[in-house]
Amino acid sequence: MKSKKSDRTLRAFVNDQSGATAIEYSLIAAGIAAAIIATVASLGTSTNAMWQTISDAIH
């Protein structure tokens, strides 16, 4: 009797895809976050250079 219950529990665990889906969404979110960070860092550097050029032209 206990063997059948543990077999059903094991099959249910193996067939459950919700954990895999959560991991996939987490990986997608991490990729998007990395792209945003890289873009902001790049824009920050170019924006800083632009303002420095303007400041040098004024002085």
Structure tokens at 57: 């032209």
Percent with pLDDT over 90 in the chain:
41
- CA atoms in the 13 A half-sphere facing the CB of 19: 5
pLDDT digits (tens, 9 = 90+) for 30-56: 999 999 999 999 888 888 889 999 999
Q: Give the Cα-Cα-Cα angle 16, 26, 34 (nearest 5 degrees).
A: 160
How many residues are listed for the chain in this entry?
A: 59
